[in-house]
Amino acid sequence: MARKLLLEHINVPGINTLDVYRQKGGYRAVEKALKTLTPDEVVEEVKKSGLRGRGGAGFPTGMKWSFLAKPEGVARYLVCNADESEPGTFKDRYLMTYIPHALIEGMIVSSFALGANTSYIYVRGEMMPQIRILEKAIAEAKNAGLLGKNILGSGYDLELYVQPGGGAYICGEETALLESLEGKRGNPRIKPPFPAIAGLYGCPTVVNNVESIAAVVPIINDGGDEYAKIGIGRSTGTKLISASGNLVKPGVYEIELGLPVEEFIYSDEYCGGIANGKRLKATVAGGSSVPILPANLTLKLANGEPRLMSYESLSEGGFATGTMLGSGGFIAFDEDQCIVRNTWNFSRFYHHESCGQCSPCREGTGWMEKVLHRLEYGHGKMSDIDLLVDVSKKIEGNTICPLGDAAAWPVASAIRHFRDEFEWHVKEPVKSLDTNYGLANYAEPIAKAEVTTGD
Partner 1 sequence: MSDKVKVTIDGITVEVAPGTSILNAARQIGGDIVPPAMCYYSKLEGSGGKCRTCIVKVSKGSEKDPRPMPKLVASCRTTVMDGMEVQNITSPEVIEARSGVVEMLLINHPLDCPVCDQAGECDLQNLGYEHGLQKTRYEFERRTFERIDIGDKIQLHMNRCILCYRCVFTADQITNKRVHGILNRGDHSEISTYIQTAVDNDFSGNVIDVCPVGALTDKTFRFKNRVWFTKPIDAHRDCPTCSGKVTLWYKGEDVLRVTARKDIYGEVEEFICNTCRFDKKKTADWTIEHPTHISDASVIASNHYETLKPLPVIQDNAKLQLANKVELEKTTKF
Q: Which is nearer to partner 1, 333 or 367 (CB)?
A: 367
Q: Which is nearer to partner 1, 190 or 433 (CB)?
A: 190
Task: Note whether 387 binds partner 1 by CB under 8 A.
Answer: yes
Window of 144-152, 203-211, 366-374, 419-427 that interacts with partner 1 by CB under 8 A: 366-374
Q: Report strand pairing: 238-245 vs 77-82.
A: unpaired
In the complex, the smallest distance separating the C-beta of residue 362 from partner 1, rounded to whole angstroms, is 5
Return the residue of 362, 377, 429, 446 that touches partner 1, per CB under 8 A.
Answer: 362
How many whole angstroms separate alpha carbon 3 and alpha carbon 24?
A: 16
Return the residue of 226, 263, 363, 423 that touches partner 1, per CB under 8 A.
Answer: 363
How many whole angstroms separate alpha carbon 208 and alpha carbon 205?
A: 10
Of residues 26-65, those binding partner 1 (CB under 8 A): none
Please give the C-alpha separations between residue 32 and each of 341, 372, 376, in angstroms, as whole numbers: 51, 54, 57
How many whole angstroms separate alpha carbon 367 and alpha carbon 387?
A: 10
Percentage helix, strand, coil for the chain under 3-state DSSP, each rounded to 5: 45, 15, 40
What are the backbone angles phi and psi of residue 293, rounded to the nearest 5°?
-125, 145
Three-state DSSP state, 234: coil
Return the residue of 67, 394, 440, 443 that touches partner 1, per CB under 8 A.
Answer: 394
In the complex, the smallest distance separating the C-beta of residue 356 from partner 1, rounded to whole angstroms, is 4
Q: Which is nearer to partner 1, 35 or 185 (CB)?
A: 185
Return the residue of 25, 233, 356, 445 that touches partner 1, per CB under 8 A.
Answer: 356
Judged by CB under 8 A, the number of residues near partner 1 is 28
Decide if 257 contacts 238 (C-beta within 8 A): yes
Tell me how crowded residue 386 is: count the other CB atoms within 10 A of its CB. Answer: 11
Task: Note whether 393 binds partner 1 by CB under 8 A.
Answer: yes
Q: Write the burial class of residue 418 (CB in 10 Å: 0-12 exposed, 13-18 middle, 19+ buried).
A: buried
Return the amino acid letter for 413.
S
How many whole angstroms separate alpha carbon 276 and alpha carbon 179?
A: 46
Return the residue of 190, 320, 382, 433 that touches partner 1, per CB under 8 A.
Answer: 190
In the complex, the smallest distance separating the C-beta of residue 338 from partner 1, rounded to whole angstroms, is 22
- In DSSP terms, 383 is beta-bridged to none
Return the residue of 107, 324, 355, 414 that touches partner 1, per CB under 8 A.
Answer: 355
Return the residue of 326, 328, 364, 410 that touches partner 1, per CB under 8 A.
Answer: 364
Q: Which is nearer to partner 1, 212 or 354 (CB)?
A: 354
Task: Note whether 357 binds partner 1 by CB under 8 A.
Answer: yes
In the complex, the smallest distance separating the C-beta of residue 361 from partner 1, rounded to whole angstroms, is 8
How many whole angstroms separate alpha carbon 224 and alpha carbon 212?
A: 14
How many whole angstroms separate alpha carbon 382 and alpha carbon 321?
A: 24
Decide if 15 contacts 98 (C-beta within 8 A): yes
Task: Note whether 202 binds partner 1 by CB under 8 A.
Answer: no
In the complex, the smallest distance separating the C-beta of residue 327 from partner 1, rounded to whole angstroms, is 22
Task: Note whether 351 binds partner 1 by CB under 8 A.
Answer: yes
Three-state DSSP state, 130: helix
> Mask of contacts with partner 1, 397-436, x by CB under 8 A?
xxxx------------------------------------
Three-state DSSP state, 244: strand
Q: Which residue, among 366, 301, 389, 224, has the nearest Cα to 293 in the 3D structure? A: 301
Q: Which is nearer to partner 1, 387 or 446 (CB)?
A: 387
Return the residue of 236, 313, 365, 432 that touches partner 1, per CB under 8 A.
Answer: 365
Half-sphere exposure of 22 (CA within 13 A, CB side): 10
> Mask of contacts with partner 1, 145-184, x by CB under 8 A?
-----------------------x-x--------------
Per CB under 8 A, residues contacting partner 1 are 168, 170, 185, 190, 351-360, 362-367, 370, 387, 393-394, 397-400
